[in-house]
């Protein structure tokens, strides 16, 4: 197959390298109507690693009734076997944990990196966590302390950093306050979530500036954009220009949020890789392999991938295949 890659023109304003935090197996599959078997999820993780991704978020140890699509977290980690307990150098396989019981389940599976999830708004905290924003932060304190004591890496997600479907635009002071609390607990990184995809590049500038003034610089942050209004890639590139070096993305652009119905898919990993490679930023990802993986997962889910790059490269691959078949008579 002909390799279809962008023409590389290095941009001086994009600093590298960029770490891609792949969320497809967790954040991608949690909002899909199709419940994928544990062995298929494990195969998905392996394929993503084979494509060159080094951080792949595997699942979530939440109550099965909350997110039934991820009720098989133990089975998925078990199917991954030695990859979890003795991962290759540079490979991380995190899991989301909502509370201390979830953390203990993760520890029993040999997980070495965990994520907690908070909300910048009161409305979403009550709908997603069934607690007030303050109550949720209190729940996370012992989780983070126990995880750090066990030698685990801890990341925090903050949802609704740019807009909330019930409250509208979110005050930056609220986002900063929650991030300060999470960093103060000992979280290694905070991922800023544009849960309903309403962020703009100007809003990215403003929020990162406010966080910087509070002493929370790009080295402590990641970004997580949804593509509801087609702005996820633009917002991500702007964040990278401003010094962010860790970016969340989902293979094939799958995902959303089961607790915010206006949220659509995540930034597609392929679209991000295409843009970064074209700008001269190394990703370490084999784009052809990644596209093959996303086409495969789309077939499992029974719907086409929303990623523009997946669609374009899949068409190009099919065209190459037709050209290679001798004796075919054009219609």
Is residue 308 a contact partner of residue 271, using CB atoms and an 8 Å limit? yes
Q: What pLDDT was estimated at residue 315? A: 84
For 287, list phi and psi in degrees, rounded to 5. -65, -40
User: Which parts of the chain sit beneath pLDDT 50?
Assistant: 1-2, 257-263, 323-331
Catalytic site includes residue 257: yes
Is residue 271 a contact partner of residue 253, using CB atoms and an 8 Å limit? yes
> How far is Cα 281 from Cα 35, in angstroms, rounded to an integer?
35
Q: What pLDDT was estimated at residue 88? A: 95
- Count how many residues are written for the chain: 331
Cis amide prior to 257 (ω within 30 degrees): no
> How far is Cα 146 from Cα 210, in angstroms, rounded to an integer?
30
Q: Where are the beta strands (DSSP E) in the chain?
A: 19-22, 55-56, 59-60, 95-96, 113-119, 153-159, 163-164, 168-169, 189-194, 221-225, 246-249
Choosing from 115, 161, 187, 257, the catalytic residue is 257
Q: What pLDDT was estimated at residue 258? A: 45
Q: What does the block give as tokens for 305?
A: 């991938």
Q: What does the block give as tokens for 314?
A: 């899949």
Residues 6+ apart with CB under 8 A from 264: 197, 226, 227, 228, 256
pLDDT tens for residues 188-226? Answer: 999 999 999 999 999 999 999 999 999 999 999 999 999
Q: What pLDDT was estimated at residue 79? A: 98
Domain layout of the chain by residue ranges: 19-324
Q: What is the DSSP code (8-state) at residue 120?
A: S
> How far is Cα 313 from Cα 279, in angstroms, rounded to an integer?
18
- Name the nearest CA neighbour of 17 among 216, 203, 289, 285: 285
Query: Within a 10 A sphere around the Cβ of 282, how many other Cβ atoms?
Result: 10
CATH architecture of 19-324: Alpha-Beta Barrel (3.20)
Q: What does the block give as tokens for 33?
A: 């109507």
Residues 6+ apart with CB under 8 A from 151: 112
Q: What pLDDT was estimated at residue 77? A: 98
Write out the H or E segment, with its range, that includes residue 110: none
Quote the pTM value.
0.92
> How far is Cα 331 from Cα 329, in angstroms, rounded to an integer?
6
Q: What pLDDT was estimated at residue 259? A: 43
């Amino acid at each position: 197959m002909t390799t279809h890659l962008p023409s590389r023109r290095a941009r001086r304003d994009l600093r590298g390298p960029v770490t891609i935090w792949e969320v497809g197996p967790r954040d991608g599959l949690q909002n899909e109507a199709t419940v994928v078997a544990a062995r298929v999820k494990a195969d998905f993780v392996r394929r993503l690693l084979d494509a060159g991704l080094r951080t792949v978020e595997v699942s979530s140890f939440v109550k099965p009734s909350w997110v039934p699509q991820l009720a098989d977290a133990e089975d998925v980690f078990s199917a991954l076997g030695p990859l979890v307990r003795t991962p290759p150098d540079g490979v991380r396989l995190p899991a989301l944990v909502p509370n201390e019981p979830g953390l203990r389940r993760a520890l029993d599976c040999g997980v070495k990196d965990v994520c907690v999830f908070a909300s910048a708004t009161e409305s979403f905290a009550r709908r997603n966590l069934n607690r007030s924003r303050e109550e949720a932060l209190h729940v996370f304190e012992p989780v983070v302390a126990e995880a750090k004591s066990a030698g685990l890496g801890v990341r925090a997600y903050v949802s609704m950093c740019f807009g909330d479907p019930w409250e509208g635009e979110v005050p930056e002071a609220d986002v900063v306050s929650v991030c300060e609390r999470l960093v103060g607990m000992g979280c290694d990184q905070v991922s800023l979530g544009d849960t309903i995809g309403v962020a703009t590049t100007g809003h990215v500038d403003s929020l990162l500036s406010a966080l910087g003034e509070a002493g929370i610089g790009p080295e402590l942050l990641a970004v997580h954009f949804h593509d509801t209004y087609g702005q996820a890639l633009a917002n991500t590139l702007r964040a990278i220009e401003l010094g962010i070096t860790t970016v969340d993305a989902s293979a094939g652009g799958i995902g959303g949020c089961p607790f915010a119905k206006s949220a659509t898919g995540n930034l597609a990993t392929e679209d991000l890789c295409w843009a970064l490679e074209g700008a001269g930023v190394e990703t370490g990802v084999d784009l052809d392999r990644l596209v093959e993986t996303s086409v495969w997962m789309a077939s499992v889910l029974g719907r086409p991938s929303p990623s523009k790059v997946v669609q374009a490269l899949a068409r190009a691959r099919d065209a190459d295949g037709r050209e290679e078949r001798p004796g075919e008579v054009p219609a």
